[in-house]
Amino acid sequence: MSAPSTAPALSFPARSGPDAPAPTEARLLDFARRTAADTALVASLPLSPDDRTWLRLDGPGGSEVWLIGWPPGTGTGRHDHADSLGAFVTAAGELRENALAARLPTDGWRSLELTDGVDQERLLPVGTGRAFGPHHVHEVLNASPDRHAVSVHAYHPPLPRIRRYSRSGRTLRLEQVERPENWR
């Protein structure tokens, strides 16, 4: 992500504490859907014409949630969320997700050759989202030439790191590992 919004973090009531179950992919997706449907919250996100903006929210069971604004033509680049489960839902505009339908080794590699048939593309209009497990490699894009998009992303546990990748043909390369202090 680029520069954070200057707006304060928002909280939603969430069951937490020692008796709260860890969120599942389904629970994260449900929370992201309900949050994306909050039109006042979505409208409160400051949008930049050039850079992504975001607000950090507290999610269920200690998860972290991000409300993200996407200017036209912006994206994340290929990445994963390490050991975190995740979910995201489009709240405004339309996003595209390019993902790999392959389980990658968790550590100890710099370059992999991908097999045919691992590429997946999804268009995600308003109200549409998806959940995913750990080590899910994808990129999220706002391919619109003239319209902002807004989305809600939820992760549990809160992101310990993000690994960034490049791709040339069938070769996937690990380029960088980012930690939370790089995004806040």
Q: Any idea what the CATH number is for the domain that residue 62 is in?
A: 2.60.120.10
**Rg (alpha carbons) of the chain, rounded to whole number:** 16
Number of domains in the chain: 1
Q: Is position 147 within any domain?
A: yes
Is position 7 within any domain?
Answer: no
Domain that holds residue 48: 18-182
Is 71 within the bounds of a domain?
yes
Note whether residue 10 is domain-resident.
Answer: no
Query: 5 in a domain, yes or no?
Result: no
161 domain-assigned: yes
Q: Quick check: is 80 in a domain?
A: yes
Q: What is the mean pLDDT of residues 132-141?
A: 93
Check residue 19 and give its pLDDT.
57
Tokens of 75: 């994206």
Give the torsion sign (CA, 96, 57, 163, 184): positive
Q: Is residue 59 part of a domain?
A: yes
Residue 6's pLDDT is 36
Residues 112, 171 contacting (CB under 8 angstroms): yes
Residue 180 confidence (pLDDT): 82
pLDDT for the residue numbered 184 = 63
Contact 88, 140 (CB under 8 A): yes
pTM for this structure? 0.86
